[in-house]
Structure formats: structure tokens, C-alpha cells
Amino acid sequence: MTLIKRRNFIKGAGAVAGLSLAAPLISRSYAQGSSGAVNIFAWAGYLNDDMIGAFEKATGIKANYTPYGTNDELLNQLRANNGGGFDIIWPTVDRVPNYVEFELVQPIDESKVNVDNCLPSAWKNSENLGAVIDGKRYQVPTDWGTEAVSFDKDQAPLEYGTASYGDIWKPEMKGKATVRGHSGLVGLGLWLEAEGKLPMPMADAFKSEENMVKIYDVILEEAIARKANIAQFWSNENEAQGAFRINGCTIGQTWDSTAAALGKEGLPVGFIAPKEGALAWMEGVAIPKGAENLEQAYAFINWFLTPEAGAMYTNATSINSTAVGAADKTTDEAKAFFAAAYPGDALDKLWWWPIQESWFVAKRNEYQDRFLSA
């Protein structure tokens, strides 16, 4: 996988010309805050002691990190606090409109962000994925990754080009698979779409409730019929890893970080983009409405967009940083994982999560609950 292709990863979300390959000069110091603290509410596993130590050394700011496991957990906590309690949160970009709707986040002051340190493609395409609402930016893109097919290399080997979400639902995988409830239905839907079994494209389900019902009724019927394949459902990183590590799963639809972590333990677990396209997501940091340490929040954002911080993050999680120059500094292990996960034209086929408005999330959860309880 060439470096240039890696840096053009968001081509599937919208073409962007003139992607810069050289790290620009830093026009504003990321160490804007020289004291105080910043309270960070982020995904479990996204920050480790080394990263927090490096941030504190670079800025003089103490970082207080609280982990969460799901987007819904984050949203519910922010709603309970009326947008208070934290200075930095880390939602996926397609869910940012939910926070704006409930008035939980504040617009980003772009004059305080080292925008040139963020990959231009990520900055531009995040506008259409949910980061910009009514002309105002509410999120700075910091990382991207995928949910695709994890597999036991010995017991359920897969190869790019033939690997499919459908492999998870084959009869021979009875009692051996793991999926997340709501996104597993999307993966199943993409396979059914490729097989010509949906009434309209999967993406149309996000456009109206009428479309969604027509599409999801078909998906749910198929999912229930094949539910015996699922040995364990997961909702967070620890559960997804446990499905392979403890509960005997040999295939599943998981995040990239799941397979990477298992591989680092020496388990024979691979990760591959299916022919229908890996489910791609972008994440970033947003500032809650009730943030009390704004200077320190912007200092964290700008530190995280440095090549050094981006590389530390990718090396630790195998999730891809949007920081210009970070890919150059990642380990050989991280580069090898990326190349194995997205060979050939896999990056061109990424299936980007559409914006998930509140009506969709509510209806999506209804279908998930019906699937889980069937």
C-alpha cells in the first residue's frame, strides 16, 4: 500500500483535489495552554499513559481521561449533564448532528485550530459527513477507520476479492460468528443488496423512515433466519475482542482495532475489507457547550493533530490518524496491518456511514432490539 494512496483514503466520501503531501509549517503553537487541566471523554482505549504523558509534557496541561464504549453512551451522558462535565468529546462524525440538535456542543473556532495539520481530504469531506451544520463546524476530524470482517486465519481463512459480509452468515458459521446488533444489520443489508435482494440500495434507508422500513424489514427477516450463526453480540471493544479470545468465534463483523489488538496478542486473527465495501467512519473531537477549559481544549486538539501524536495514536490502536505526516511515523507493524486490511481497490470501495439523524437512530435501535430478542 503506497503512502500516497493511504493519504487519499477519503476519495470514496467525495473527491478532493490537490492533497498536500508535505507537512506545512505550524502557524500556531499547539501548546496554547501552559497550565490548568482538560477533561476528555473519549472512546475506551483511545488514549494511553504514554500519550497522556506526552501531551502533558508538551503543553503543561493535565489531562483527565474518562472512557466510554458506545456513541449512545456518550450522547446519553452529555444529555444528562446538559452539555457539561467535559471539555473534549469524541463522537463519530455521522452522529454530530444529534449533539447539535440537542444543543450539547459549541461551534469550533477555526482560528484556534491548526487546520493545515489536518489532512485536507478529511477536513473537506467531514463537511458532508456531519461535522458542519448550517455552515458552522462542530467537529475537528482526528481519525478514521472501518468496521469489516475479522476472521481466524486458520479456521476461517478469507482473501480479498471474495471475502464478503455474507461469509459471516453462511450455514457453516453456525455458532461461530459475532456482530454488533445495529451495524451487523447494515453489513447483512449490503450483502443482500449485492445479491439483488433489497428493494432499493442500502444507503436509501438513511433518507426516510418509509425507505428504512422497506429495507430493514427484509434485512431483519434474513437476520432472524440466520441468527443461530451468532455466538455472541458485541457492543464495545472489550466484548468484540472477547468473542474471539474467550467465546470461540472464528469470524465476525468488528472494528479494525479489534483485530489489530488480537493480532498483537499473537492470536491468528486477520481483518479484511469485504467486496461490498468496508463500513467506514470518521471521528473527531468536539467541544461540549458547557466546557470550562476552552484554551486547554484547543491545545489538546492541536497537539493531537501533530505527526508525533497521530503516529502514537495509530501505533496504539491501528486506527488511522488524520494528522499530516503521521503515516510516515507509524511502525512497520501498523503499516503492515493497513496494507493487509485494504489491498487492491479496497480504499476506493469504502462505504461511508451516512448521517444518522435522530429518527434513524431511534428506528435503528428498534430493529436491533427485535433482532436481539428474536
Please check whether residues 74 and 187 belong to one and the same domain. Answer: no
Rounded to whole angstroms, the Cα distance separating 231 from 307 reads 40
Counting Cβ atoms within 10 Å, is residue 140 exposed (0-12), middle (13-18) or buried (19+)? buried
Residue 292 belongs to some domain of the structure: yes
Please check whether residues 292 and 188 belong to one and the same domain. Answer: no
Please check whether residues 192 and 311 belong to one and the same domain. Answer: no
Please check whether residues 154 and 270 belong to one and the same domain. Answer: yes
83: left (phi over 0), alpha (psi -120 to 50) or beta: left
Rounded to whole angstroms, the Cα distance separating 78 from 71 reads 11
- CATH number, domain with residue 156: 3.40.190.10
Please check whether residues 364 and 223 belong to one and the same domain. Answer: yes
Residue 43 belongs to some domain of the structure: yes
| C-alpha distances in Å from residue 34, one per residue of 29, 62, 275, 296 | 11, 10, 49, 8
For the chain, the domain total comes to 2
Please check whether residues 335 and 366 belong to one and the same domain. Answer: no
Residue 348 belongs to some domain of the structure: no
Per-residue pLDDT of the chain (374 residues), as tens digits, is: 233 344 444 444 443 322 232 333 333 444 444 579 999 999 999 999 999 999 999 999 999 999 999 999 999 999 999 999 999 999 999 999 999 999 999 999 999 999 999 999 999 999 999 999 999 999 999 999 999 999 999 999 999 999 999 999 999 999 999 999 999 999 999 999 999 999 999 999 999 999 999 999 999 999 999 999 999 999 999 999 999 999 999 999 999 999 999 999 999 999 999 999 999 999 999 999 999 999 999 999 999 999 999 999 999 998 999 999 999 999 999 999 999 999 999 999 999 999 999 999 999 999 999 999 99
Residue 14 belongs to some domain of the structure: no
Please check whether residues 238 and 362 belong to one and the same domain. Answer: yes
The parent domain of residue 239 ranges over 145-278+354-373
Please check whether residues 160 and 74 belong to one and the same domain. Answer: no
Residue 2 belongs to some domain of the structure: no
Residue 19 belongs to some domain of the structure: no
Rounded to whole angstroms, the Cα distance separating 223 from 27 reads 52
Please check whether residues 212 and 358 belong to one and the same domain. Answer: yes
Residue 368 belongs to some domain of the structure: yes
Please check whether residues 272 and 286 belong to one and the same domain. Answer: no
Residue 4 belongs to some domain of the structure: no
Please check whether residues 154 and 272 belong to one and the same domain. Answer: yes
Please check whether residues 169 and 194 belong to one and the same domain. Answer: yes
